[in-house]
Amino acid sequence: MPKNDDNNGAIRRRDMLRRRYLPDMAPTPEEISPLTRYVIDGIPKRPPRGSTVADGLRFAEGASNRMVMSLYPAPSMPAIEELAASWDLHPTIVEDLLLGQQRPKLDRYEDITFITIRSARYIDAREEVDFAEFHILMKPQAIVILCQDNQWIDGTSASNFGDPRHVDDRIKTLLDDAELLSLGPRAVAYRLIDAIVDGYAPVLRGIAIDQEQIERQVFSGDAAVAERIYNLSQEIIDMQHTTSSVSEVLQRLNKDFIRSGMPEKLHAYLADVADHLTRDNTRVAEYRESLSQILSVNATLVAQRQNEDMKKISGWAAIIFAPTLISSIYGMNFDIMPELHWAFGYPMAILMMLGFTLLLYWIFKRSKWM
């Protein structure tokens, strides 16, 4: 069976799985055309009106100084189907493009490199890290970037990509260095990964600020801090998984580029991104360890407060027990009991109960149980 037929069959099979297992999935937004640029000697230009994915590949393969770059703000089923047919994609890639929810990874299929990477933004109001998944497909002279979650690195919704100002910003992020772009699709992949990794730093700053707030909250005795610690720790764990996975992707990408004869300039750029990512990994690990220590301190403080409460409860129980014991003895209705028929028996019992109460209160107060 031809490979394209396999791809079309995979698309239909994945569409069926989506309908069967993902009924609550948000509907695909109104189709947004991909942003495509033809690049000659590092200079991007708009393609002719009505150009297809196949036209872009033919343009790029027409000369060694050419490249085509396409950005899909909200990849739809028809768009992925056209891409799969034009690029002759492996069914496994098609499945990943359709279903998403992949951890950062790098796979190679003949002359196609498939990269999954995740950007991150910190939503301070919710103390959550918002991740966005991106898929990168690379051929020797072509690159496709798919915004799997229908948003850009900075959180711009795909629906805003129709605004020329947003389009220019996206294109500038990827294509504003002619000298670098002359190195081909690998340079575009580097620019995207570099922008994503740069976005991790504000996330870590936001986490650090909230962690400092939590430290102060712990010693204030706020009972709600435990839930806040747990929620932030989950975000840190997710961030750690992302940064560590992206590090692995970057290492593999660097090795692939070296094997294919990577220019020294691009190698230096990738090394710089790797250094930033290493620092991010270190910071995330430190934040996770620090938050774990804060959780332990909070548990200790909670136990201390509970112990203080138990002391007070035990002290008051003992104070109440003393008069209760005396009154219960004299309330047993025996006829022959000391001082039962004595005129001062009742006042003496009351004084004894009051005396024991005051004595125990003084003892517990002195012992700081009250």
Judge whether 236 lies within some domain. no
Domain of 139, in residue numbers = 1-177
Q: Which residue, 125, 152, 177, sits at the end of a domain?
A: 177
Judge whether 20 lies within some domain. yes
The CA distance from 38 to 21, in Å, is 39
pLDDT recorded at residue 286:
92
Q: Which residue, 177, 208, 223, sits at the end of a domain?
A: 177
The CA distance from 81 to 89, in Å, is 10
Q: Name, in order, each residue with C-beta under 8 angstroms of 225's C-beta and a sequence gap of 6 or more.
A: 214, 217, 218, 298
306 and 173 within one domain: no
pLDDT recorded at residue 241:
92
Q: Which residue, 157, 177, 197, sits at the end of a domain?
A: 177
Pair type for strands 112-123 and 66-72: unpaired
The distance in angstroms from the start CA to the end CA of the chain is 84
Judge whether 339 lies within some domain. yes
The CA distance from 370 to 364, in Å, is 6
Judge whether 14 lies within some domain. yes
Phi-psi region of 41 (alpha: psi -120 to 50; beta: other; left: phi over 0): left
162 and 30 within one domain: yes
pLDDT recorded at residue 238:
92
pLDDT recorded at residue 26:
43
The CA distance from 136 to 117, in Å, is 8
Reduced 3-state DSSP string for 245-275: HHHHHHHHHHHHHHHCCCCHHHHHHHHHHHH
Which mean pLDDT values do the consecutive 10-residue runs of the chain (370 residues) have? 51 49 44 83 86 90 88 88 90 87 86 92 89 92 90 76 56 70 84 90 92 86 82 91 91 78 76 89 91 83 73 76 75 68 73 80 74
321 and 172 within one domain: no
149 and 3 within one domain: yes
Judge whether 245 lies within some domain. no
CB 130 within 8 A of CB 120: yes
pLDDT recorded at residue 116:
93
Domain count, the chain: 2
Q: Which residues of 192-211 are buried (b: 16+ CB within 10 A; e: fewer)?
A: bbbbbbebbeebbebbeebb
pTM, two decimals, is 0.74
Strand partners, 132: 119
pLDDT recorded at residue 165:
53
Specify the CATH number for the domain of residue 359.
Answer: 1.20.58
Judge whether 216 lies within some domain. no
Pair type for strands 142-147 and 66-72: parallel
Strand partners, 105: 116
Judge whether 213 lies within some domain. no
CB 238 within 8 A of CB 203: no
Judge whether 200 lies within some domain. no
Specify the CATH number for the domain of residue 167.
Answer: 3.30.460.20
